[in-house]
Amino acid sequence: MSAQTHLFRCLTDNFGVLIHDPATGATAAIDAPEAAPVETALRTTRWKLTDILVTHHHADHTGGVEELKARHKCRVTAPRQEASRIPAVDATVSEGDTLKVGSLTARVLETPGHTAGHIAYVFGADNLAFVGDTLFSIGCGRVIEGTPEMMWQSLLKLRGLPDDTRIYCGHEYTAANIRFAKTIEPANAALAAREKEVEKLLAAKKPTIPSTIGEEKAANPFLRADVPEIAKSLGLAGQPAWKVFAEIRERKNRS
Ligand SMILES: [Zn+2]
């Protein structure tokens, strides 16, 4: 049986998401921004929390971990490199490790840049990837602890996933990301189509995610730093892609 997911909002603009294995009843929360919305989601779905899979140490991804663990006795899995900055960790993982949520299998990708030890969880058999604050729809996370070159390599790793991989990210930033993306690629038809779709979703008070890797490759400027026309339009023709990425990220920081 394939995995089921349940997406909900937390804090101001964070997403919470549960992944559920119908075969065993196991359920993981991907990050835990705060406990109460996760509890509401568990009541709505009648799923039992067995795992929390943490992508990185920021408080808006870990604030609910201790409370949820105390109540549900769930197992907390965290990136090895920053486990000391995350509460109540039971298991640590790094690049290439696999872990089980019931009978579902996740593979761990290290995606440093936003934080130094950030990881993503890829459920390949279900075409699902939980990417935290590395990749957003039509955007990417701020490069806080790493370098632009490191972040570009992390984004390339995610870009290499199959096109039909559904991407769950940590924040609802899509509308603002689209406004910025249009300044980089004003004539991108896939971006224009995504803008129309997102306007409709937000008007209906629906989340704008998940998107797919295929959609992001076509419209997300941060995954397109190696498109020669973009480098040229930024005055960086012939420069390495990571430098083009760094310029796009810098412009977004100032926008
Ligand atoms: Zn973060």
The pLDDT score that the predictor gives to residue 1 is 74
3-state secondary structure of 54: coil
CA of 146 to the centre of ligand 1 (A): 12
CA of 240 to the centre of ligand 1 (A): 26
CA of 233 to the centre of ligand 1 (A): 30
Nearest partner of 49 among 65, 73, 32, judged by Cα: 73
232: pLDDT confidence band, cut at 50, 70 and 90? very high
CA angle 139, 141, 143 (to 5 degrees): 130
CA of 143 to the centre of ligand 1 (A): 10
CA of 144 to the centre of ligand 1 (A): 9
Q: Evaluate if residue 128 carries a pLDDT over 80.
A: yes
- 133 DSSP assignment: T
The pLDDT score that the predictor gives to residue 194 is 98
The pLDDT score that the predictor gives to residue 125 is 97
3-state secondary structure of 170: coil
CA of 133 to the centre of ligand 1 (A): 5
Share of the chain above pLDDT 90, in %: 99
The pLDDT score that the predictor gives to residue 27 is 98
Residues 6+ apart with CB under 8 A from 98: 105, 106, 107, 108
Q: Would the pTM count as exceeding 0.85?
A: yes
Terminal-residue alpha carbon distance, the chain: 44
CA of 180 to the centre of ligand 1 (A): 20
Q: Evaluate if residue 71 carries a pLDDT over 90.
A: yes
**In degrees rounded to 5, what are phi and psi of residue 103?**
-95, 0
CA of 10 to the centre of ligand 1 (A): 14
The pLDDT score that the predictor gives to residue 65 is 98
Q: If you average pLDDT over every residue of the chain, what do you get?
A: 97
Q: Return the structure tokens found at 49.
A: 């929390």
CA of 65 to the centre of ligand 1 (A): 15
- C-beta of residue 28 within 8 angstroms of C-beta of residue 51: yes
Would you tell me the crossing angle of helices 174-184 and 189-203 to the nearest 10 degrees?
Answer: 160
Q: Return the structure tokens found at 181.
A: 């993306």
Q: Return the structure tokens found at 156.
A: 């390339």
Which residues keep their CB under 5 angstroms from ion ligand 1? 58, 133
Strands (E), 65-224: 75-79, 91-93, 98-101, 104-110, 119-123, 128-132, 135-136, 139-140, 166-169, 211-212
CA of 147 to the centre of ligand 1 (A): 15
Mean pLDDT, range 223-244, rounded to an integer: 97
Catalytic (active-site) positions = 56, 58, 60-61, 114, 133, 171
